[in-house]
Copies of this chain bind each other. A is one copy, B any other.
Amino acid sequence: MKTYSISEVAKELNVTAYTLRYYDKEGLMPFVERTASGQRLFKESDIAALNIIECLKSTGMPIKEIKTFIDWCTAGDITLQQRFDMFMERKSVVEKQMKELEETMKLIEHKCYYYKTALEAGTEDIHKNDKIEIPVTT
């Protein structure tokens, strides 16, 4: 079975080897095996697991919570419910992030328009009488 060194994996996942060692130190990689001399040997399945870790991280989940998930994985079928619940919660977190990102996008696009027209006019003054936007909650 093909294995990979830490720097190969780092390159593949676009992180540094330092970061991977840090994750290991924090308990996110209890599954990675070692050679007799102590060097890490990453399997394909380890890289897949790291992809899940990256995915959780990208939802804003802190390392410590990801560790809890890894611990659940190690514990086996007894923690299936916790893991299911966790991913369902992540799903709603990501849904919220998507909505927020859309609001952000609206404002950014409005500003693009604002500056495009200001540039055409040569001055921002053309927007002097724009009404101040009060965020609408409903």
Contact = CB atoms under 8 A, between A and B. Distances in A.
The copy count of this chain in the complex is: 2
Judged by DSSP, the binding face of A is helix
A80 interface: yes
Contacts of A116: 84
A105 B91 contact: yes
A24 to B, nearest CB: 21
Which interface class (under 10, 10 to 19, 20 to 34, 35 or more) fits A? 35 or more
A100 interface: yes
Given A51-B135, A119-B84, A124-B77, A105 B94 contact: yes
Which 3 pairs show the lowest CB-CB distances between chains A and B?
A84-B115, A87-B111, A55-B107
Given A84-B112, A87-B111, A101-B101, 8 more contacts: A48-B132, A55-B104, A59-B108, A80-B123, A81-B119, A84-B115, A94-B101, A95-B105
